Structure 1
Amino acid sequence: MSSAWLQHGSNQITINLRQTATFNGVLRDSLTLRAPLVRDIRNAQRLTSDETEREMQLFASLAEVSVSELEGMAWRDYRRLQEAYFRLAADDDAAGGPIAPAHATAG
């Protein structure tokens, strides 16, 4: 499933924003998330037990922006960010892709 507002790469996903926003001092019309690492998830969990704050910390880390900059986004663009994250972090099997490395052999 693809959307016109998403550009999906193997280790990142770019979200076209409906409303420009400032990130790292630059007015932008898109935001890119890199694929999460276990370390990113663990760091977000260590910072807070609040689920919303944890999500914001994780997204900020993956986009290399601040939480306050994410808070300044239009709500509908933040919802796009959430959807993009879940597509990026989805298990390959759930997305219909391979679950074993290409060099694996059937036993």
Structure 2
Amino acid sequence: MNETIKLSTPVTINGLPTNQVVLREPTVGDQLDARQLAGNDDAKFEMTMLANMAGCAPDDLRQVTLRDYGKLQKAYLRLSAEEPAADGKQSAVVGVVTPAG
């Protein structure tokens, strides 16, 4: 799944001027790589995740306006959220916990 985010201010991504960013659905690998690079820096983690999803360097996203960055953050949340069930309700996750030993 991909989402195209229209930017209010054009930027240069991968050396090309653009007024949109396409984010793909994040993977577990993206999350692991971003956490390893960012350590405990949550802002760097988020920037690295977004850059991985956009297929660009984190420095490319530094030029995005805060308004447009907010759009990227919202798209990230949508792309990483569980999809609602066909009836529009959130599906429940049910687990069985058995006592150890």
TM-score (norm 2): 0.81
Distance 2:90 2:75 in 1: 20
Q: Percent identity?
A: 36
Match of 1:17 among 7, 29, 32: 7
- Indicate yes or no: 2:55 matched with 1:67: no
Structure 1 stretches of 4+ with a deviation exceeding 6 A read none
Q: Could you state the TM-score of these two structures normalised by the residue count of structure 1?
A: 0.76
Query: Which of the two has higher C-alpha Rg?
Result: 2
Alignment match of 2:49 (pick from 51, 58, 67): 58
Any unmatched runs of 5+ in structure 1? Answer: 1-10, 100-107
Pair 94,29 (structure 1): closer, same or farther in 2 beyond 3 Å: farther
Count of aligned pairs: 89
2:67 aligned residue: 76
- Pick from 23, 39, 63: which aligns with 1:33? 23
